[in-house]
Amino acid sequence: MKNKPILVTQPFLPPLEEFQEYLKEIWDSKWLTNNGKFHQELEKALCEYLGVKYISLFSNGTLALITALQELKITGEVITTPFSFVATTHALWWNNIKPVFVDIESKTMNLDPEKIEAAITPKTTAIMPVHVYGNPCNIDAIQKIAKTYGLKVIYDAAHAFGVKKNNISILNYGDLSILSFHATKVFHTFEGGAIVCHDELTKNRIDNLKNFGFENGEVVSPGINAKMNELQAAMGLLQLKYIDTAILKRKEIAETYIRELKNINGISVIDDIADVRHSYSYFPILIDKEEFGKTRDEVFNELAAHQIHGRKYFYPLISQFPTYKGLDSARPGLMPIAEKIAEEVLCLPIFPDIGFEIIQKICKIIKENKQ
């Protein structure tokens, strides 16, 4: 057991007996999907927990992103960040929308509002920012630009479960926000996702779109099948029971990392932001090779040699993948901050049951590598 590899994350699983209770109920009712009992319960419970008005559950986050763009009938060009998981841009491509990449801010690693305006063209219809690592985007500045130019805002909030600013869920901003409940996320339903919206009519249309476009037996839109099933919803209900404890444990782990690594020359950590309730979904550090004396890749390899597997997240940038590197906005040199951060970033393992001795070991290896 001692030398089991430590991965960047490990899904939280509730006691198996508790899941079996739900399974028994599903077996008895024989209702497996299509807005079942647990699906309805989870939507209600999530609205309450997250502090949002309307939520539609999905089979995964990527289909939620794709459907959100359908719901708002987004076309043409959409301004987005290259510093994200590739699904953000894939969702645009699957809707025949041209992604336009814009550089990020160095402090939050989120889309830089000051660089958005220069990228707007007559074809621009929306902005799709990401709350990277759960750190809120500059919501006010983005909203102001969207209002001035008549653009929609769709937040990829896949990392931002439970994140609040001034005690308000950041999912309440923009036209729509998308969550992912993938196994690697803070809150998971094996696979899963959701769209958060602000009015009932929009929620109804999204519910139609995820179920083949059905509304009372009639097909009213060109829908897809992206429904969450009852097993997923049951897992979600159980996760909710433990989520506050899980986030608290993550917070303690993040605080330990910060304490240990903050004063090392060449290592930067992101401190908590005032007035933000974080969910500590990731723990990224930046390694400046001049100051630290070793590259990110060297530190990554050194940790891997000790069976500790961080993740170069996000490297390469989405704009550097062969699929997207031919786009005008993907040209090397256009996004210097994102390009630099992608070379320096390393996400260290963080999950509720990692154990403090592992954190100490990781910090020790990093310190011993300093030149």
Which spans of this chain sit near ligand PLP (rule: CB under 6 A)? 60-62, 84-85, 87-88, 130, 156, 158-159, 180, 182, 193
Q: 314-325: buried (b, 16+ CB within 10 Å) or exposed (e) per residue?
A: bbebbbbeeebe
Which position has the token pair 């992604």? Answer: 99
Q: Within 13 Å and on the Cβ side, how many CA atoms surround 125?
A: 15
Left (φ > 0), alpha (ψ -120 to 50) or beta: where does 150 sit? left
* CB-nearest residue to ligand PLP: 61
User: What's the token pair of residue 160?
Assistant: 């931002």
Q: In whole angstroms, how close is the CB of 258 to ligand PLP at the nearest point?
A: 22
User: What's the token pair of residue 49?
Assistant: 């927990």
Of 36 and 193, the one with the shorter C-beta distance to ligand PLP is 193
Of 254 and 363, the one with the shorter C-beta distance to ligand PLP is 254
Q: In whole angstroms, how close is the CB of 344 to ligand PLP at the nearest point?
A: 19
Q: In whole angstroms, how close is the CB of 67 to ligand PLP at the nearest point?
A: 12
Cα 229 to Cα 38: distance, rounded to the nearest angstrom:
9
Of 68 and 197, the one with the shorter C-beta distance to ligand PLP is 68
Q: In whole angstroms, how close is the CB of 25 to ligand PLP at the nearest point?
A: 25
Of 61 and 223, the one with the shorter C-beta distance to ligand PLP is 61
Q: In whole angstroms, how close is the CB of 229 to ligand PLP at the nearest point?
A: 14
Of 125 and 180, the one with the shorter C-beta distance to ligand PLP is 180
Cα 163 to Cα 93: distance, rounded to the nearest angstrom:
28
Q: Which of 285, 281, 292 is nearest to 260 (CA)?
A: 285
Cα 82 to Cα 103: distance, rounded to the nearest angstrom:
7
Q: What is the DSSP secondary structure assignment for residue 172, as one 8-state letter?
A: G
Q: In whole angstroms, how close is the CB of 192 to ligand PLP at the nearest point?
A: 7
Q: In whole angstroms, how close is the CB of 294 to ligand PLP at the nearest point?
A: 28
Number of other residues whose CB lies within 10 A of the CB of residue 273:
14
Cα 104 to Cα 125: distance, rounded to the nearest angstrom:
20
Of 60 and 177, the one with the shorter C-beta distance to ligand PLP is 60
Cα 131 to Cα 139: distance, rounded to the nearest angstrom:
10
**Furthest-apart CA atoms within the chain: distance in Å:** 68
Of 179 and 264, the one with the shorter C-beta distance to ligand PLP is 179
Q: In whole angstroms, how close is the CB of 217 to ligand PLP at the nearest point?
A: 29
Cα 178 to Cα 56: distance, rounded to the nearest angstrom:
10
Q: In whole angstroms, how close is the CB of 94 to ligand PLP at the nearest point?
A: 12
Q: Which of 291, 280, 286, 257 is nearest to 370 (CA)?
A: 291
User: What's the token pair of residue 61?
Assistant: 């986050």
Q: Which of 265, 279, 270 is nearest to 158 (CA)?
A: 279
Pairing, β 152-156 against β 164-165:
unpaired
Of 105 and 260, the one with the shorter C-beta distance to ligand PLP is 105
Of 9 and 261, the one with the shorter C-beta distance to ligand PLP is 9
Cα 65 to Cα 365: distance, rounded to the nearest angstrom:
39
Q: In whole angstroms, how close is the CB of 99 to ligand PLP at the nearest point?
A: 13
